[in-house]
Amino acid sequence: MLKKITPLILTYNEAPNIERTVQALKWAKQIVVIDSYSTDETLEILFSYSQIKVFQRKFDTHTQQWNFGLEQVESEWVLSLDADYIITDELIAEIAALPVNERVNGYVARFKYCIVGKPLRGTLLPPRQVLFRKVKAIYIDDGHTQLLQLTGKSAMLSNYIHHDDRKPLSRWLWAQDRYMVIESKKLLETPASELSLGDRIRKQKIIAPFIILFYCLIIKGGILDGWHGWYYAFQRVLAEILLSIRLIEAEKFKT
* CATH, residue 103: 3.90.550.10
pLDDT at residue 8 is higher than 80: yes
pLDDT at residue 198 is higher than 90: no
- Shared domain for 132 and 192, answered yes or no, is no
Mean pLDDT of the chain: 94
Determine the pLDDT at residue 147.
Answer: 86
Rg (C-alpha) for the chain, rounded Å, is 19
- Shared domain for 180 and 127, answered yes or no, is no
Q: What is the C-alpha to C-alpha distance for residues 26 and 45, in angstroms, rounded to an integer?
A: 14
- Shared domain for 44 and 131, answered yes or no, is yes
Classify residue 164 by its DSSP letter: -
Classify residue 75 by its DSSP letter: S
- Shared domain for 38 and 122, answered yes or no, is yes
- Shared domain for 240 and 199, answered yes or no, is yes
**Could you report how far apart the first and last alpha carbons of the chain are, in Å?**
56
pLDDT at residue 255 is higher than 60: no
- Shared domain for 59 and 122, answered yes or no, is yes
- Total domain count, the chain: 2
Which among 163, 193, 221 is the end of a domain? 163
Q: Label residue 100 by pLDDT band (50, 70, 90).
A: confident
H or E element at residue 180:
helix 169-189
HSE-CB for 48 with a 13 A CA cutoff: 10
- Shared domain for 148 and 187, answered yes or no, is no
- Shared domain for 52 and 35, answered yes or no, is yes
Determine the pLDDT at residue 225.
Answer: 97
**Long-range residue pairs from 128-132, CB within 8 A, at least 24 positions apart, any chain:** 129/80, 129/154, 130/79, 130/80, 130/81, 130/161, 131/5, 131/77, 131/78, 131/79, 131/80, 131/95, 131/106, 131/107, 131/157, 132/77, 132/78, 132/80, 132/105, 132/106, 132/107
| Of residues 54, 59, 110, 116, the one with CA closest to residue 84 | 116
| Single-letter amino acid code for the residue at 198 | G
Determine the pLDDT at residue 143.
Answer: 65
pTM of the model: 0.89
- Shared domain for 119 and 43, answered yes or no, is yes
The backbone torsions φ and ψ at residue 158, rounded to the nearest 5 degrees and listed phi first, read: -80, -35
Which among 111, 136, 163 is the end of a domain? 163
Q: What is the per-residue pLDDT across 54-91, written as a single tens digit (0 to 9) for each? A: 999 999 989 999 999 999 999 999 999 999 999 999 99
Three-state DSSP class for residue 115: strand
Q: From residue 51, give the alpha-carbon distance in Å to each of 18, 29, 206.
A: 14, 6, 49
Which among 163, 184, 213 is the end of a domain? 163
HSE-CB for 122 with a 13 A CA cutoff: 17
CB–CB of 238/176 below 8 Å?
yes
pLDDT at residue 254 is higher than 80: no
- Shared domain for 151 and 190, answered yes or no, is no
Residues spanned by the domain of 216? 169-252
Return the higher-pLDDT residue of 85 and 253. 85
Q: What is the C-alpha to C-alpha distance for residues 160 and 114, in angstroms, rounded to an integer?
A: 12
- Shared domain for 212 and 245, answered yes or no, is yes
H or E element at residue 9:
strand 5-11
- Shared domain for 89 and 177, answered yes or no, is no
pLDDT at residue 142 is higher than 90: no
